[in-house]
Structure 1
Amino acid sequence: MTIDLNRREWMMGLAALGLASATRGALAADGDLLRFGAPEPFSFDTLVERARALAASPYVPEVPRSADVLERIDFDQHWRIQYKKSETLELNDGKAPIRFFHLGRYFKLPVGIHVVENGEARTLRYDPNLFTIPSDSPAKELPDDIGFAGFRVLEPGSDADWLAFLGAAYFRTSGEDNQFGMSARALAIDVAMPTPEEFPRFTDFFLEPSADGRLVITCLLNSPRVAGVLRMDIKKGGPIVMDIQSRYFARDDIERFGIAALTSMYWYSETDKQRRIDWRPEVHDSDGLAMWTGAGERIWRPLNNPPRVMTSSFSDQGPRGFGLLQRDRDFANYEDDGVFYEKRACVWVEPKGDWGAGMVQLVEIPTDDEIHDNIAAYWLSAKPVRKGDAITLDYVLHWSNREPFPGDVGKVVATRLGRGGIAGQPRPAGVTKIVVDFDGGLVAALDREAKGVEAIATASRGTVGKVDCYSVKVGTAWRVTFDLTAEGSDPVELRLYMRQGDTVLTETWAYQFLPASMGA
């Protein structure tokens, strides 16, 4: 489920390619290096019909041109090829300066770039002179019409970019704190299945000003079993908000058709880290999956780095939202002054309309380093995708420091595991102490001596004992502790929440406990 280029190199590449923006019109004038084809009529509906027709035709595999030369443009060679600042494409009166990525070893298939004005699209023509290419670069051997790999959107008048499209159907933003982290993608097809995962890719991008935001990007998507269109109207100012329309057409049956897919990295946290795995206290882009169900329940599922691939499904009807969040925003809990994990954006999916029956699916893949995306989350409809199907789902992506619709219940702020029993006394074998802290909302409003507050903890197997619930002496958090006894190596599904009488005080903590004896 990862793209070929590892995550840290990808982010370093974005920084290395940073250049100051220019101030010219959207379409190049005579004498500029930016050249455009003849205008053609364009609309979202016509592109949808194009995707429908594409899906009705057999898939034609794409073969990279000059693949042997592109293979020689490795990471080091790639970052040396820099887009010229004088050729920045300006859109929306300078609100959306755009620069382009060159092809290379990790991005061999070109994408079409089209600029839309007044209902017409003009194709941007590739020209090697748009880039500063070192004299000894293999790129000098490429054809003059080889094409672009993707693009990035910059802050006006700044070196910094805040949005990038590069590789397959992935995209990412720098969020509120200007720090790239997790990614989103249009679709996740057959993730963690016995058959290979299919990676649809954006083949064409249509760029136009937004009426009330920064930019509208309409993407044509294609892959062996699906074609489609994704249109996103992007607003920036605090959280980055993408209002998305998606239309997909199936060429063939698809077993696992994940929509509104999110991709992140989780190596370890305070929960269950190994000794001396790394000097930093925690390393992750996201620490949990949050869900707001159609029935109104709030659920928090802390992430794991499992010994083998694990897939968890959370059934729902008409979901109100879900997302991969980075709740821990304290630098002291990471101590990484290079990539600043505490600044990584949370990404929340807000469905538009009724998505019907289905499930939020979470896939966790083992990793022994931070360079690999090993977490995926997406919506999977209960209705199977069959050849000839048309799928329409619209949603909003929120890239922010916190989930946009938190509600009034207390949130999980920490999950910790340790030896069971009582300190100072012999510890029972095979027993794990689990400690969960809740804070905020109704929990923060509780009096320290509040009566009738209790914790409800259940396990899919094994025994839950010594359940205790009390106010933490420092701050406004409440803590729940309990012992879990569970023999064998199968995972244990745990659920926990706090209540006071008939009032639910917290979200539901839903954790997959992985016994130490669980094999890889």
Structure 2
Amino acid sequence: MTTIDKRKFLTASAGFLASLLGSVALPAFADEAAPATPPADTEPPAKAVGAPFDWEGLVARMKAKAGEPYEAQAPEFPETIAKLTYDAHRSIRFRPDHALWKTEERNFELQAFYPGWVFAHTVDMFEVVDGQAYPMGFSAGDFEYREPLDPAAFNAVAFPGAAGFRLHYPLNRNDYRDELITFLGSSYFRALGRGNVYGLSARGLAVDTASGSAEEFPRFSRFYVERPETGAREIRLYAELESPRVSGAYAFTILPGVETLIDVEAAIFLRGDVSRLGLAPLTSMYLFGENDRTGFDDFRPEVHDSDGLAILRGNGERVWRPLANPARLQLSVFGDENPRGFGLLQRDRATDNYLDAEARYERRPSVWVEPVGDWGKGAVLLAEIPTDSEANDNVVAFWMPEGGLSAGSEHRLRYRMIWARDVEGDVPLARVLRTRTGRGGNSAAEGDANVRKFLVDFAGETLAGLGEESAVEAKLGVTNGKIAHLILNQMPGSDVWRLIVDVKRVDADQPVELSAALLLEGERLTETWTYQWGQIK
């Protein structure tokens, strides 16, 4: 399993402002005030003919496709497009005045992405009006070709189709349509809540991720976007998903706001056996932070799009797992039945904890996945991949169903995604405030690689007002380790309770799993903190 290069995905789309990019700061476009003249349009297309479209028909079509051999579609681009470099591709921008619905009072507008560079596939795009699907028909003339490109070189190029698209909506101001959501590359998409800048991404599906076999990347090959009503507050679109072993139909209903809500309905059909099926997958970046700075000589205290995995288990237990950048691939599996939700969160919102006025990590969205209906037995899997660059997405989290991995299996599911600064709301339990780790023992003692110290601070309403004399106790679990030392106390002048524990590893070839929660007279006061101390050898 390899990391996903954000330079090739998250920042590929020409026209993103530097402050809205994933993790890579890019230079400004040359001559922003005077874009080059676009090439002339080709002959206008004939009047489009619609075809009947509805959700059930799409599901039936994709189910039928799953029973047929997969046909790979890799268009041969003209040489001018095939040879586009990263910088050249960034110099091609969609013309804002050509956006679909631009001059209409529909609140939403749609812009396309140019193919080429790492985007070797195009997507078919249709506008759905009154149950009829009409081709959108983008052309070369819908794009600007900026320096150092020569616009004349693109005049004779036959436009092969869009690589993806983005939707705009007046998210932050009533008089300006901000970028809201992007669908670009495989089955990737990413969205924004009010005040956010782009960070982590979602996928339609993950196939054999971190399974020991080659990962397969299904892709959205065709989109159907319903024309929004005048003054619309939400928009609905559909997608076809295909890969050698999977076929699927997806429906997305998007409601922008402080919390941007995306309701997803998916029908997934397996045409081949898979080892691991990842539903509602999230992908993020964690380079270093308060609990894991090893080996990074950087003026910034923390660099990450997300700092933890949160899970609301089927039995109501809340789990918090701080992320890490391990020395080798690290997997954590949280078995469950009918989970109530999970997500990759950016809890730390303090600007001074990042000191990055360009990347603005404190403004990256958190994403919460909330199942609709029962998902049955399975597990939330967290994969953390070593990386030395903030340009790489190295964290993946998704739900793994327990069964249905053989050819002919199908999965129907619905879930809501919440993209926002705060996706947890008023949780009736104290949360983990911070996690720090370091060499075990005391400062005067010689270090032992098999002993490590963990500091966990808890804070929240359930701890407020409890004095140091309160009989608060720590419920601690450890696998492949022994507790060498433990201290729990209330921090002076605050409602923060601090747990400090030294753990001695038993088997150097295996990771150590830790968990902790605070209780009072048997009643749980906090969420459950979990941590994996990776193997040494």
TM-score by length of 1: 0.91
Partner residue of 1:242 out of 255, 262, 270: 262
Letter in 1 for 2:440: G
SS in 1 for 2:163: strand
Gaps of 5+ in 2: 19-27, 34-41
Cα pair distance change 1:238/1:402, threshold 3 Å: same
Alignment partner, residue 186 of structure 1? 204
Is the aligned partner of 1:10 residue 2:12?
yes
Alignment partner, residue 271 of structure 2? 251
Cα pair distance change 1:136/1:395, threshold 3 Å: same
Q: Give CA-to-partner distance per residue, 1:71-95, whole Å, 9 cap, x none.
A: 3112211121121122111288331
Cα pair distance change 1:452/1:222, threshold 3 Å: same
Alignment partner, residue 458 of structure 1? 477
Cα pair distance change 1:384/1:322, threshold 3 Å: same
Is the aligned partner of 1:62 residue 2:80?
no
Residues 315-334 of structure 1: pairs in structure 2 closer than 5 A: 315-334=335-354
Q: By how many angstroms is 1:457 displaced?
A: 1.5
Distance 1:253 1:138 in 2: 49
Distance 1:442 1:482 in 2: 22
Q: Give CA-to-partner distance per residue, 1:418-461, whole Å, 9 cap, x none.
A: 232345x5356342221001112312x24233511011222102
Alignment partner, residue 40 of structure 1? 51
Is the aligned partner of 1:115 residue 2:127?
yes
Letter in 1 for 2:267: R
Partner residue of 1:79 out of 82, 90, 110: 90
Alignment partner, residue 435 of structure 2? 415
Letter in 2 for 1:63: A
* C-alpha contact (below 8 Å) 2:5/2:392 kept by paired residues: no
* C-alpha contact (below 8 Å) 2:107/2:233 kept by paired residues: no
Q: Give CA-to-partner distance per residue, 1:310-340, whole Å, 9 cap, x none.
A: 2211100110000000111111111010011
Q: What is the alpha-carbon root mean square deviation over aligned residues?
A: 2.6
Q: Give CA-to-partner distance per residue, 1:239-297, whole Å, 9 cap, x none.
A: 11001100111111111110000000011101021254322100001111100000111
TM-score by length of 2: 0.88
Shifted more, 245-254 versus 208-217: the winner is: 208-217
Residues 458-477 of structure 1: pairs in structure 2 closer than 5 A: 458-477=477-496
Is the aligned partner of 1:146 residue 2:160?
yes
Distance 1:318 1:115 in 2: 36
Letter in 2 for 1:364: E
Distance 1:33 1:334 in 2: 51
SS in 2 for 1:272: coil
Alignment partner, residue 25 of structure 2? none
Gaps of 5+ in 1: 21-30
Partner residue of 1:106 out of 118, 123, 148: 118
Cα pair distance change 1:209/1:446, threshold 3 Å: farther
Q: By how many angstroms is 1:126 displaced?
A: 2.8
Distance 1:469 1:123 in 2: 64
* C-alpha contact (below 8 Å) 1:433/1:483 kept by paired residues: yes
* C-alpha contact (below 8 Å) 2:471/2:520 kept by paired residues: yes
Distance 2:152 2:88 in 1: 8
Alignment partner, residue 183 of structure 2? 165
Distance 2:461 2:116 in 1: 49
Distance 1:32 1:497 in 2: 68
Is the aligned partner of 1:125 residue 2:127?
no
Determine what percentage of the aligned residue pairs are the same residue. Answer: 36
Alignment partner, residue 492 of structure 1? 512
Letter in 1 for 2:17: A
Shifted more, 3-12 versus 218-227: the winner is: 3-12
Distance 2:291 2:152 in 1: 47
Q: Give CA-to-partner distance per residue, 1:441-491, whole Å, 9 cap, x none.
A: 312x24233511011222102211322212222543211111111142421
Q: By how many angstroms is 1:141 displaced?
A: 7.3
Is the aligned partner of 1:481 residue 2:483?
no
Q: By how many angstroms is 1:66 displaced?
A: 1.9
Cα pair distance change 1:411/1:35, threshold 3 Å: farther
Distance 1:138 1:219 in 2: 35
How many residues are matched?
Answer: 505
Shifted more, 257-266 versus 385-394: the winner is: 385-394
Alignment partner, residue 89 of structure 1? 100
SS in 2 for 1:52: helix
* C-alpha contact (below 8 Å) 2:221/2:239 kept by paired residues: yes
Distance 2:200 2:315 in 1: 28
Moved segments of 4+, more than 4 Å: 1-5, 16-20, 31-36, 209-212
* C-alpha contact (below 8 Å) 1:419/1:427 kept by paired residues: no
SS in 2 for 1:267: strand
Is the aligned partner of 1:296 residue 2:316?
yes
Letter in 2 for 1:167: G
Is the aligned partner of 1:435 residue 2:444?
no
Alignment partner, residue 27 of structure 1? none
Is the aligned partner of 1:383 residue 2:403?
yes
Letter in 2 for 1:103: P
Cα pair distance change 1:310/1:428, threshold 3 Å: closer
SS in 2 for 1:86: helix
Residues 202-221 of structure 1: pairs in structure 2 closer than 5 A: 202-209=220-227, 213-221=233-241
* C-alpha contact (below 8 Å) 1:226/1:250 kept by paired residues: yes
Shifted more, 34-43 versus 468-477: the winner is: 34-43
SS in 1 for 2:101: strand
Letter in 1 for 2:186: A
Distance 1:67 1:495 in 2: 56
SS in 1 for 2:136: strand
Alignment partner, residue 367 of structure 2? 347
SS in 2 for 1:442: coil
